[in-house]
Structure 1
Amino acid sequence: MSDEGRLSKSANAFNIGLCTVSTIVRLMEEVENFYSRYEAPQCIGAIDGNLIDIRAPTINSTDYINRKSQCSLNVQACFGFKYCFLNVVIKWPGNPAYPLLPHLMKEYVNGGSLPQAQYFWYQICSARNVIECSFGRLKARFGVLKCTMDMHIQQFLYVIYAYFALHNYCEQNHESICEDNV
Protein backbone atom coordinates (compact mmCIF):
# COMPACT_ATOMS: atom_id res chain seq x y z
CA MET A 1 0.00 0.00 0.00
CA SER A 2 2.93 2.30 -0.33
CA ASP A 3 2.03 3.68 -3.73
CA GLU A 4 -0.30 6.65 -4.05
CA GLY A 5 -2.85 4.83 -6.24
CA ARG A 6 -3.61 2.08 -3.76
CA LEU A 7 -3.86 4.53 -0.90
CA SER A 8 -6.33 6.65 -2.89
CA LYS A 9 -8.45 3.61 -3.75
CA SER A 10 -8.55 2.56 -0.10
CA ALA A 11 -9.48 6.08 0.99
CA ASN A 12 -12.30 6.22 -1.55
CA ALA A 13 -13.55 2.70 -0.76
CA PHE A 14 -13.97 3.45 2.94
CA ASN A 15 -14.91 7.12 2.57
CA ILE A 16 -11.97 8.33 4.66
CA GLY A 17 -9.23 10.85 4.02
CA LEU A 18 -6.03 9.85 2.24
CA CYS A 19 -3.95 10.91 5.25
CA THR A 20 -6.00 8.54 7.45
CA VAL A 21 -5.11 5.56 5.25
CA SER A 22 -1.40 6.34 5.37
CA THR A 23 -1.65 6.77 9.15
CA ILE A 24 -3.31 3.37 9.48
CA VAL A 25 -0.62 1.78 7.30
CA ARG A 26 2.12 3.35 9.45
CA LEU A 27 0.38 2.21 12.63
CA MET A 28 0.16 -1.36 11.33
CA GLU A 29 3.88 -1.25 10.55
CA GLU A 30 4.53 -0.07 14.13
CA VAL A 31 2.44 -2.97 15.49
CA GLU A 32 4.34 -5.50 13.35
CA ASN A 33 7.73 -4.06 14.33
CA PHE A 34 6.84 -3.92 18.02
CA TYR A 35 5.70 -7.55 17.87
CA SER A 36 8.87 -8.69 16.09
CA ARG A 37 11.00 -7.10 18.80
CA TYR A 38 8.97 -7.81 21.98
CA GLU A 39 6.46 -10.54 21.01
CA ALA A 40 3.61 -8.43 22.35
CA PRO A 41 0.65 -9.15 20.02
CA GLN A 42 -1.55 -6.33 18.72
CA CYS A 43 0.53 -3.77 20.60
CA ILE A 44 1.68 -0.48 19.14
CA GLY A 45 3.98 0.55 21.97
CA ALA A 46 4.59 0.92 25.67
CA ILE A 47 2.99 3.57 27.87
CA ASP A 48 4.37 5.11 31.03
CA GLY A 49 4.38 8.32 32.99
CA ASN A 50 7.23 10.48 34.19
CA LEU A 51 7.23 13.39 36.60
CA ILE A 52 8.93 16.64 35.61
CA ASP A 53 9.49 19.03 38.48
CA ILE A 54 8.15 22.57 38.17
CA ARG A 55 8.13 25.71 40.27
CA ALA A 56 4.96 25.81 42.39
CA PRO A 57 2.30 27.80 40.53
CA THR A 58 0.68 30.69 42.38
CA ILE A 59 -2.84 29.33 41.77
CA ASN A 60 -3.92 25.85 42.94
CA SER A 61 -0.35 24.84 43.75
CA THR A 62 -1.51 21.85 45.82
CA ASP A 63 -2.92 20.28 42.63
CA TYR A 64 0.65 19.82 41.42
CA ILE A 65 2.04 17.99 44.47
CA ASN A 66 3.11 14.46 43.53
CA ARG A 67 3.64 11.32 45.63
CA LYS A 68 7.17 12.54 46.46
CA SER A 69 5.75 15.83 47.85
CA GLN A 70 7.30 17.80 44.98
CA CYS A 71 5.55 20.12 42.52
CA SER A 72 5.49 18.45 39.15
CA LEU A 73 3.52 17.68 36.04
CA ASN A 74 2.88 14.11 35.02
CA VAL A 75 4.00 13.45 31.46
CA GLN A 76 2.44 10.33 29.98
CA ALA A 77 3.91 8.99 26.77
CA CYS A 78 3.44 6.12 24.38
CA PHE A 79 6.63 4.86 22.86
CA GLY A 80 7.29 2.80 19.73
CA PHE A 81 10.04 0.34 18.97
CA LYS A 82 12.51 2.90 17.52
CA TYR A 83 13.09 4.91 20.74
CA CYS A 84 10.64 7.54 19.45
CA PHE A 85 7.61 8.82 21.30
CA LEU A 86 4.33 8.24 19.44
CA ASN A 87 2.08 10.24 21.76
CA VAL A 88 2.66 12.61 24.67
CA VAL A 89 0.06 13.91 27.14
CA ILE A 90 0.96 16.44 29.82
CA LYS A 91 -1.64 16.77 32.58
CA TRP A 92 -2.00 16.92 36.35
CA PRO A 93 -2.47 15.20 38.69
CA GLY A 94 -1.48 11.81 37.35
CA ASN A 95 -1.93 8.31 38.64
CA PRO A 96 1.19 6.21 38.06
CA ALA A 97 -0.74 2.93 38.26
CA TYR A 98 -2.64 1.78 35.20
CA PRO A 99 -5.61 -0.60 35.37
CA LEU A 100 -5.88 -3.70 33.22
CA LEU A 101 -8.24 -2.82 30.34
CA PRO A 102 -9.16 -4.48 27.02
CA HIS A 103 -6.90 -1.98 25.22
CA LEU A 104 -4.16 -1.78 27.89
CA MET A 105 -1.95 -4.75 28.84
CA LYS A 106 -0.33 -4.82 32.24
CA GLU A 107 2.21 -7.18 33.77
CA TYR A 108 1.09 -9.88 36.21
CA VAL A 109 1.63 -9.30 39.92
CA ASN A 110 4.70 -11.31 41.02
CA GLY A 111 5.16 -12.63 37.49
CA GLY A 112 2.22 -15.04 37.56
CA SER A 113 2.23 -18.70 38.57
CA LEU A 114 1.97 -20.48 35.21
CA PRO A 115 4.96 -20.67 32.84
CA GLN A 116 2.89 -18.91 30.15
CA ALA A 117 2.08 -16.08 32.55
CA GLN A 118 5.74 -15.77 33.55
CA TYR A 119 6.79 -15.63 29.90
CA PHE A 120 4.10 -13.01 29.18
CA TRP A 121 5.23 -11.00 32.22
CA TYR A 122 8.84 -11.13 31.02
CA GLN A 123 7.87 -9.92 27.51
CA ILE A 124 5.68 -7.10 28.83
CA CYS A 125 8.37 -5.98 31.28
CA SER A 126 10.95 -6.02 28.47
CA ALA A 127 8.71 -3.87 26.29
CA ARG A 128 7.93 -1.53 29.19
CA ASN A 129 11.62 -1.20 30.01
CA VAL A 130 12.06 0.45 26.61
CA ILE A 131 9.93 3.44 27.55
CA GLU A 132 11.78 3.85 30.84
CA CYS A 133 15.02 3.89 28.83
CA SER A 134 13.46 6.38 26.43
CA PHE A 135 12.59 8.77 29.23
CA GLY A 136 16.18 8.32 30.43
CA ARG A 137 17.52 9.10 26.95
CA LEU A 138 15.25 12.17 26.73
CA LYS A 139 16.50 13.49 30.08
CA ALA A 140 20.12 12.67 29.18
CA ARG A 141 19.76 14.56 25.91
CA PHE A 142 18.04 17.55 27.56
CA GLY A 143 19.50 17.78 31.07
CA VAL A 144 17.24 20.70 31.98
CA LEU A 145 14.44 18.12 32.38
CA LYS A 146 16.25 16.76 35.45
CA CYS A 147 15.96 20.14 37.18
CA THR A 148 13.01 22.12 38.49
CA MET A 149 11.67 24.12 35.57
CA ASP A 150 10.92 27.73 36.42
CA MET A 151 8.31 28.97 33.95
CA HIS A 152 4.59 29.55 33.56
CA ILE A 153 2.54 26.37 33.03
CA GLN A 154 1.44 27.32 29.48
CA GLN A 155 5.05 27.97 28.44
CA PHE A 156 6.08 24.74 30.14
CA LEU A 157 3.67 22.70 28.01
CA TYR A 158 5.06 24.10 24.74
CA VAL A 159 8.65 23.63 25.89
CA ILE A 160 8.10 20.01 26.95
CA TYR A 161 6.33 19.13 23.69
CA ALA A 162 9.26 20.72 21.84
CA TYR A 163 11.75 18.56 23.77
CA PHE A 164 9.83 15.43 22.79
CA ALA A 165 9.73 16.51 19.13
CA LEU A 166 13.45 17.31 19.16
CA HIS A 167 14.19 13.97 20.83
CA ASN A 168 12.32 12.12 18.07
CA TYR A 169 14.20 14.11 15.44
CA CYS A 170 17.53 13.23 17.08
CA GLU A 171 16.61 9.53 17.33
CA GLN A 172 15.47 9.36 13.69
CA ASN A 173 18.74 10.98 12.60
CA HIS A 174 20.88 8.77 14.88
CA GLU A 175 22.23 11.66 16.95
CA SER A 176 24.33 10.31 19.78
CA ILE A 177 23.90 11.02 23.48
CA CYS A 178 26.88 11.71 25.69
CA GLU A 179 27.35 8.47 27.67
CA ASP A 180 28.16 10.47 30.83
CA ASN A 181 24.57 11.77 30.83
CA VAL A 182 22.79 8.41 30.53
Structure 2
Amino acid sequence: MDGVLNKFDYPMCIGALDGTHISIKAPQGLESDYYNYKKFHSIIILATVDSNMLFTYANVGAPGRCNDAYVYSKCQLYDVIQNDTYSKHYMKINNIKVQSHLIADSAFKLDRTLMKPYTILPDMPKENATFNYRLSRCRCTIERPFGLLKNRFRCLKRKMEFHMDNTTNIIKTLVVLHNLCIITGDHSEADWDMLAPENIYKSL
Protein backbone atom coordinates (compact mmCIF):
# COMPACT_ATOMS: atom_id res chain seq x y z
CA MET A 1 0.00 0.00 0.00
CA ASP A 2 2.80 2.41 0.84
CA GLY A 3 4.32 1.87 -2.60
CA VAL A 4 1.16 2.99 -4.37
CA LEU A 5 0.74 5.95 -2.02
CA ASN A 6 4.33 7.09 -2.53
CA LYS A 7 4.36 6.63 -6.31
CA PHE A 8 0.84 7.73 -7.25
CA ASP A 9 -0.49 9.68 -4.26
CA TYR A 10 -3.33 7.18 -3.93
CA PRO A 11 -4.00 5.74 -0.43
CA MET A 12 -4.95 2.24 0.77
CA CYS A 13 -4.61 0.46 -2.59
CA ILE A 14 -3.49 -3.16 -2.22
CA GLY A 15 -3.29 -3.85 -5.94
CA ALA A 16 -4.56 -3.17 -9.46
CA LEU A 17 -6.91 -5.79 -10.92
CA ASP A 18 -7.46 -6.67 -14.58
CA GLY A 19 -7.57 -9.54 -17.04
CA THR A 20 -5.97 -10.50 -20.33
CA HIS A 21 -6.71 -13.18 -22.92
CA ILE A 22 -4.30 -15.91 -24.04
CA SER A 23 -5.05 -17.60 -27.37
CA ILE A 24 -5.58 -21.38 -27.15
CA LYS A 25 -6.80 -24.36 -29.10
CA ALA A 26 -10.25 -24.82 -27.57
CA PRO A 27 -11.14 -28.17 -25.99
CA GLN A 28 -13.19 -30.30 -28.36
CA GLY A 29 -16.90 -29.80 -27.85
CA LEU A 30 -16.40 -26.64 -25.77
CA GLU A 31 -15.45 -24.24 -28.54
CA SER A 32 -18.27 -21.78 -27.82
CA ASP A 33 -17.30 -21.52 -24.13
CA TYR A 34 -13.79 -20.36 -25.03
CA TYR A 35 -14.75 -18.00 -27.89
CA ASN A 36 -14.23 -14.45 -26.64
CA TYR A 37 -15.53 -11.02 -27.66
CA LYS A 38 -12.33 -10.45 -29.66
CA LYS A 39 -13.33 -13.34 -31.95
CA PHE A 40 -10.78 -15.99 -30.97
CA HIS A 41 -10.57 -18.88 -28.51
CA SER A 42 -8.84 -18.02 -25.26
CA ILE A 43 -8.43 -18.47 -21.55
CA ILE A 44 -8.21 -15.56 -19.15
CA ILE A 45 -5.45 -14.48 -16.80
CA LEU A 46 -7.11 -12.44 -14.06
CA ALA A 47 -4.40 -10.86 -11.95
CA THR A 48 -3.45 -8.21 -9.45
CA VAL A 49 -0.14 -6.36 -9.45
CA ASP A 50 1.63 -4.05 -7.03
CA SER A 51 3.42 -0.77 -7.66
CA ASN A 52 6.62 -2.64 -8.60
CA MET A 53 4.91 -4.56 -11.45
CA LEU A 54 4.96 -7.81 -9.48
CA PHE A 55 1.99 -10.13 -9.84
CA THR A 56 0.52 -10.65 -6.37
CA TYR A 57 -2.32 -12.94 -7.50
CA ALA A 58 -3.16 -14.76 -10.72
CA ASN A 59 -6.21 -16.81 -11.63
CA VAL A 60 -5.49 -18.71 -14.85
CA GLY A 61 -7.85 -20.75 -16.99
CA ALA A 62 -11.31 -19.20 -17.03
CA PRO A 63 -12.96 -19.66 -20.46
CA GLY A 64 -12.60 -16.67 -22.78
CA ARG A 65 -16.35 -16.26 -23.07
CA CYS A 66 -16.49 -15.02 -19.46
CA ASN A 67 -16.02 -11.36 -18.62
CA ASP A 68 -13.42 -10.24 -16.09
CA ALA A 69 -15.98 -9.16 -13.49
CA TYR A 70 -17.61 -12.60 -13.52
CA VAL A 71 -14.26 -14.37 -13.19
CA TYR A 72 -13.38 -12.13 -10.24
CA SER A 73 -16.69 -12.84 -8.49
CA LYS A 74 -16.00 -16.59 -8.66
CA CYS A 75 -12.31 -16.65 -7.72
CA GLN A 76 -10.60 -17.19 -4.39
CA LEU A 77 -9.30 -13.62 -4.27
CA TYR A 78 -12.86 -12.27 -4.12
CA ASP A 79 -13.70 -14.47 -1.14
CA VAL A 80 -10.52 -13.50 0.68
CA ILE A 81 -10.83 -9.76 0.19
CA GLN A 82 -14.48 -9.72 1.23
CA ASN A 83 -13.38 -11.08 4.61
CA ASP A 84 -13.89 -8.62 7.45
CA THR A 85 -10.15 -8.70 8.16
CA TYR A 86 -9.59 -6.18 5.36
CA SER A 87 -12.12 -3.72 6.78
CA LYS A 88 -9.89 -3.38 9.86
CA HIS A 89 -7.12 -1.85 7.74
CA TYR A 90 -8.10 1.73 7.01
CA MET A 91 -6.92 5.32 6.91
CA LYS A 92 -9.01 8.29 7.99
CA ILE A 93 -9.24 10.96 5.30
CA ASN A 94 -11.42 13.98 6.13
CA ASN A 95 -12.97 11.90 8.93
CA ILE A 96 -13.96 9.15 6.49
CA LYS A 97 -12.60 5.63 6.92
CA VAL A 98 -10.95 4.52 3.67
CA GLN A 99 -10.24 0.81 3.93
CA SER A 100 -7.73 -1.21 1.95
CA HIS A 101 -9.05 -2.03 -1.52
CA LEU A 102 -8.30 -3.04 -5.08
CA ILE A 103 -8.64 -0.73 -8.07
CA ALA A 104 -10.02 -1.73 -11.46
CA ASP A 105 -11.70 -0.37 -14.59
CA SER A 106 -15.39 0.34 -15.10
CA ALA A 107 -16.15 -3.27 -16.09
CA PHE A 108 -16.00 -4.31 -12.43
CA LYS A 109 -18.63 -3.84 -9.74
CA LEU A 110 -18.03 -1.06 -7.24
CA ASP A 111 -18.03 -2.09 -3.58
CA ARG A 112 -16.17 -1.36 -0.34
CA THR A 113 -13.23 -3.53 -1.45
CA LEU A 114 -12.93 -2.34 -5.07
CA MET A 115 -12.75 1.16 -6.47
CA LYS A 116 -13.40 2.04 -10.11
CA PRO A 117 -13.58 5.35 -12.01
CA TYR A 118 -16.50 7.74 -11.91
CA THR A 119 -18.52 7.81 -15.12
CA ILE A 120 -17.02 10.53 -17.30
CA LEU A 121 -19.45 13.42 -17.78
CA PRO A 122 -18.95 16.83 -19.44
CA ASP A 123 -19.83 18.63 -16.20
CA MET A 124 -18.36 16.18 -13.70
CA PRO A 125 -17.09 17.75 -10.46
CA LYS A 126 -13.40 18.56 -10.28
CA GLU A 127 -12.99 16.20 -7.32
CA ASN A 128 -14.33 13.29 -9.38
CA ALA A 129 -12.05 14.12 -12.30
CA THR A 130 -9.05 14.28 -9.95
CA PHE A 131 -9.99 10.90 -8.48
CA ASN A 132 -10.27 9.40 -11.97
CA TYR A 133 -6.85 10.78 -12.90
CA ARG A 134 -5.14 9.28 -9.85
CA LEU A 135 -6.97 5.98 -10.25
CA SER A 136 -5.97 5.82 -13.92
CA ARG A 137 -2.30 6.39 -13.07
CA CYS A 138 -2.41 3.50 -10.62
CA ARG A 139 -4.27 1.23 -13.01
CA CYS A 140 -1.58 1.64 -15.65
CA THR A 141 0.61 -0.45 -13.36
CA ILE A 142 -1.25 -3.60 -14.43
CA GLU A 143 -1.32 -2.93 -18.15
CA ARG A 144 2.46 -2.76 -18.37
CA PRO A 145 3.15 -6.05 -16.51
CA PHE A 146 0.78 -7.91 -18.84
CA GLY A 147 2.64 -6.50 -21.83
CA LEU A 148 5.98 -7.23 -20.22
CA LEU A 149 4.93 -10.82 -19.46
CA LYS A 150 3.97 -11.40 -23.10
CA ASN A 151 7.13 -9.76 -24.42
CA ARG A 152 9.37 -11.84 -22.19
CA PHE A 153 7.59 -15.11 -22.94
CA ARG A 154 6.42 -14.76 -26.50
CA CYS A 155 4.67 -18.12 -26.59
CA LEU A 156 1.88 -16.15 -24.88
CA LYS A 157 1.47 -14.09 -28.07
CA ARG A 158 0.80 -17.21 -30.15
CA LYS A 159 -1.92 -19.85 -29.95
CA MET A 160 -1.08 -22.34 -27.21
CA GLU A 161 -2.01 -25.78 -28.52
CA PHE A 162 -1.34 -27.92 -25.45
CA HIS A 163 -3.65 -29.92 -23.22
CA MET A 164 -5.58 -27.44 -21.07
CA ASP A 165 -3.92 -28.51 -17.80
CA ASN A 166 -0.48 -28.07 -19.38
CA THR A 167 -1.45 -24.67 -20.78
CA THR A 168 -2.57 -23.31 -17.42
CA ASN A 169 0.50 -24.72 -15.66
CA ILE A 170 2.82 -23.15 -18.24
CA ILE A 171 1.17 -19.76 -17.79
CA LYS A 172 1.33 -19.96 -13.99
CA THR A 173 5.01 -20.83 -14.24
CA LEU A 174 5.67 -17.86 -16.53
CA VAL A 175 3.93 -15.52 -14.09
CA VAL A 176 6.30 -16.71 -11.35
CA LEU A 177 9.30 -16.32 -13.66
CA HIS A 178 8.16 -12.79 -14.52
CA ASN A 179 8.26 -11.92 -10.82
CA LEU A 180 11.73 -13.41 -10.46
CA CYS A 181 12.92 -11.33 -13.43
CA ILE A 182 11.58 -8.16 -11.81
CA ILE A 183 13.08 -8.98 -8.42
CA THR A 184 16.51 -9.81 -9.85
CA GLY A 185 16.57 -6.88 -12.27
CA ASP A 186 16.54 -9.04 -15.40
CA HIS A 187 15.85 -7.68 -18.89
CA SER A 188 13.16 -5.06 -19.42
CA GLU A 189 10.81 -5.25 -22.38
CA ALA A 190 13.17 -2.97 -24.32
CA ASP A 191 15.99 -5.44 -23.71
CA TRP A 192 13.87 -8.31 -24.98
CA ASP A 193 13.04 -6.36 -28.13
CA MET A 194 16.77 -5.94 -28.67
CA LEU A 195 17.10 -9.73 -28.50
CA ALA A 196 14.64 -10.38 -31.31
CA PRO A 197 15.78 -13.14 -33.74
CA GLU A 198 17.56 -10.76 -36.09
CA ASN A 199 19.67 -9.35 -33.23
CA ILE A 200 20.16 -12.30 -30.94
CA TYR A 201 23.40 -13.55 -32.49
CA LYS A 202 24.94 -10.09 -32.20
CA SER A 203 24.70 -10.40 -28.42
CA LEU A 204 26.62 -13.69 -28.21
Residue 73 of structure 1: how far off its partner (Å):
0.5
Aligned to 2:52: 82
RMSD of equivalent CA atoms: 1.7
TM-score relative to the length of structure 1 = 0.78
**Corresponding residue of 1:158:** 169
- Deviating beyond 6 angstroms after TM superposition, the runs of 4 or more aligned structure 1 residues are none
Separation (CA, whole Å) in 2 of partners of 1:73 and 1:165: 18
Instruction: Please tell me the residue identity of whatever aligns with 1:181.
Output: D
Change beyond 3 A, Cα 1:63–1:113: same
For structure 1, the residue ranges without an aligned partner over 5 or more in a row are 1-30
Quote the offset at 1:94 in angstroms.
2.8
The Cα of 1:33 is off from its aligned counterpart by: 1.4
SS in structure 2 of the partner of residue 176 of structure 1: coil
Of Structure 1 and Structure 2, which has the larger fraction of its residues in strand? Answer: 2
Residue 145 of structure 1 corresponds to which residue in structure 2? 156
**Partner AA of 1:57 in structure 2:** P
Counterpart-to-counterpart distance in 2, 1:98 and 1:124: 14
Distance in 2 (alpha carbons) for counterparts of 1:133 and 1:38: 15
Corresponding position: 1:109 with 2:79: no
Equivalent position to 1:181, from 189, 193, 196: 193
Give % identity.
Answer: 30
> Unaligned stretches of 5+ in structure 2?
69-106, 195-204
How far, CA to CA, are the matches of 1:59 and 1:35 in structure 2? Answer: 47
> How far, CA to CA, are the matches of 2:158 and 2:22 in structure 1?
8
**Residue identity opposite 1:99 in structure 2:** K
1:109-143 superposed Cα distances (whole Å, 9 cap, x missing partner)? 22771111111100111111110011011111111
Contact 1:84 1:171 in 2 (8 A): yes
SS in 2 for 1:171: helix
Shift of 1:59: 3.2
Deviation sequence 1:48-91 (CA, Å, 0-9, x none)? 00000101211322110100121000110000011110000122
Instruction: Check if 1:95 corresponds to 2:107.
Output: no
8 Å contact kept, 1:140–1:177: no
Three-state SS of the structure 2 residue aligned to 1:110 is coil
Give the secondary-structure state (helix, strand or coil) at the position aligned to 1:149.
coil
- Alpha-carbon distance between aligned partners in 1 of 2:33 and 2:145, rounded to the nearest angstrom: 27
Offset, 1:178: 4.8
Q: Give how far 1:38 is off.
A: 1.8
Query: Aligned pair count?
Result: 152
Residue 153 (structure 1) shift:
0.8
**RCO greater where, 1 or 2, for CA within 8 Å and sep 6 or more?**
2
Counterpart of 2:12 in structure 1 is 42
